[in-house]
A and B are shown apart, each in its own frame.
Chain A
Amino acid sequence: MTDGHVWNFAPVLENLPLLVSGMGGNVLLAICAIVAGFAVGLVGGLGRYSRKIIYRWPATLFVEVFRNTPVLVQIMWFYFAFPVISPFRVSSFTAALLGLALNTGAFSAEIFRGGIQSISRGQWDAGGALGMTYLQQLRRIVLPQAVKRMVPAFTNRAIEVLKMTTLASTIAYGEILYRGKVLSFSHFNPIETYTVVALLFFTLVYPLTRVVRRFELSQKKDQSGD
């Protein structure tokens, strides 16, 4: 082996439970960021779609700012800058959540906008002609059809978010990568540690992508069936 590297997996394997439970932190952070992000995205997407400039302009600003800056910078900003300009001190979890949720919000706003735009004007007209209000048309007619088309984009985004949660290691949130980093410093075995971290992530994410893929295929079959 190069430089006579002595492989030393023992400390990593001893601390495996520590790493696995750290991955629980990633999952928790991802779930919170996805739920909050999609909610923000729905509001942002409707704003982007709105004909009224007082809704469209702020939504566009939000989407462009968060889509065109790195998530890592956003997380750092919420952790270090936010407490300075506001009276709140935020935990590393909250800072990471804010960054990921708002970034996801900006991306899913575009997904919502595209999904809603893909529904023909006639569907709104038909709901409107029955006397439905804007929100009833949206909730009963447009979103149920649009969401079905948006599922692949959302699930891909959700998987991205799960992987992006490792960015929280930079502000010392005790997720898997942060624990791995600490472990590799104390045992001088970064290769072994990060290999195990990567494998653990793979065993979590790969089955998810398979499930998503299968779902997409069944959707496609449904659509070609009608």
Chain B
Amino acid sequence: MTEILRAEGIRKSFGDLEILKGVDLTVSEGETIVILGSSGSGKSTFLRCLNLLEEPSGGKIYLRGALVGAEVGATGKMKYSESALSKLRSRVGMCFQQFNLFPHMTVLQNVMEGQVTVLKRPRAEAEEAARKQLGHVGMEDKADSFPSQLSGGQMQRAAIARALAMDPAVMLLDEPTSALDPELVGEVLRAIRQLSDEGMTMLVVTHEIGFAYHVADRVLFLHQGVIHESGRPGEILINPQKERTREFLHGHLQFSLPTESG
């Protein structure tokens, strides 16, 4: 399968604290990868390193096989020009836990903003693409609303449309449902699942184990800054090999209901 995004030996330290200790990952076209891990395991930091919102302390990012940034001498240290960052990020969509919609713009303007300022699309074309993507996530009737007039679930769906309108090669979703009321989680997960079914390449950091089980092609369990265990959801979530993964899942699943058949 075609390689979309590759991370090689990603390390990240904040001061003396080493959050990521060398993470390798290759994301293939059409794949949905769910990243699990307890808080502090570095999963959000890893996601933010992939589009360089966080500059890794070490390691390399490749987009469609092309190295992002330039190596400084033979030190392995990378240097990222503003244009290299902009190019990468315009191809990699991201959604945040807190949505981060632009509150001074309508939903439609939010979805048009990146297209107009970064991709330099003509306004009419940008508006058409924006309305199409808003329709995609069931938000076409909220195009002229301001973010403050929306529910959390609507805000996150608008944020997904904003990222999609850039025609990204891959989408990064950082705990997209963690800030939502429980009753609003479903509508956002459904929108993400639909994208996955349509073949969008995605990396999702989440605590929704059920979502991981049903939607992911691959699950990574991040622990203490490394990929502790990874594999197909059926393997990792049902029959984990490592003690720490078992403990994590046990903590998350101990109150789940029995299924009808079982």
A interface residue numbers (CB < 8 A to B)? 120, 122-123, 125-134, 136, 140-141, 144-145, 148, 226
Q: Are B94 and A136 in contact (CB under 8 A)?
A: no
Convert B115-127 into 0s and 1s, putting 1 for each residue whose CB lies closer than 8 angstroms to a CB of A.
0011100000000
Q: A126-B101, A145-B102 are in contact. List 11 more A-B contacts (CB 8 A).
A: A129-B96, A130-B113, A130-B118, A131-B86, A131-B89, A131-B114, A132-B118, A133-B82, A133-B86, A134-B82, A140-B113
Across the interface, name the chain B residue whose C-beta is closest to A135: B82
When distances are taken between beta carbons in the complex, the residues of chain B under 8 Å from A132 are 86, 114, 117-118
A124 CB to nearest B CB, Å:
9
Can you list 5 A-B contacts (CB < 8 A)?
A: A122-B100, A126-B96, A126-B100, A131-B87, A132-B86
Q: Are A125 and B100 in contact (CB under 8 A)?
A: yes
When distances are taken between beta carbons in the complex, the residues of chain A under 8 Å from B89 are 128-131
B98 interface contact, C-beta 8 A: yes
B interface residue numbers (CB < 8 A to A)? 51, 53, 82, 85-94, 96, 98, 100-104, 113-114, 117-119, 146, 148-149, 159, 162-163, 166
Q: How far is the CA of A122 from the CA of B90 in the complex (A)?
A: 17
When distances are taken between beta carbons in the complex, the residues of chain A under 8 Å from B51 are 129
State the total of A-B contacts with C-beta under 8 angstroms: 67
Q: How far is the CA of A141 from the CA of B113 in the complex (A)?
A: 10
Given A125-B53, A125-B96; A131-B118 close (CB under 8 Å): yes
When distances are taken between beta carbons in the complex, the residues of chain B under 8 Å from A145 are 102-104
Leading 3 A-B pairs by shortest Cβ distance: A131-B90, A130-B114, A126-B100
Q: How far is the CA of A136 from the CA of B88 in the complex (A)?
A: 16
When distances are taken between beta carbons in the complex, the residues of chain A under 8 Å from B93 are 129
Q: How far is the CA of A134 from the CA of B86 in the complex (A)?
A: 10
A134 CB to nearest B CB, Å:
7
Q: Are B166 and A130 in contact (CB under 8 A)?
A: yes
Q: How far is the CA of A97 from the CA of B82 in the complex (A)?
A: 37
Q: Are A226 and B104 in contact (CB under 8 A)?
A: no
Given A131-B90, A132-B117, A140-B113; A126-B102 close (CB under 8 Å): yes
Q: Are B104 and A144 in contact (CB under 8 A)?
A: yes
B136 CB to nearest A CB, Å:
18
Q: Are B86 and A141 in contact (CB under 8 A)?
A: no
B144 CB to nearest A CB, Å:
15
B161 CB to nearest A CB, Å:
12
When distances are taken between beta carbons in the complex, the residues of chain B under 8 Å from A140 are 113, 117
Q: How far is the CA of A197 from the CA of B148 in the complex (A)?
A: 49
Q: Are B146 and A141 in contact (CB under 8 A)?
A: no
Q: How far is the CA of A120 from the CA of B103 in the complex (A)?
A: 11
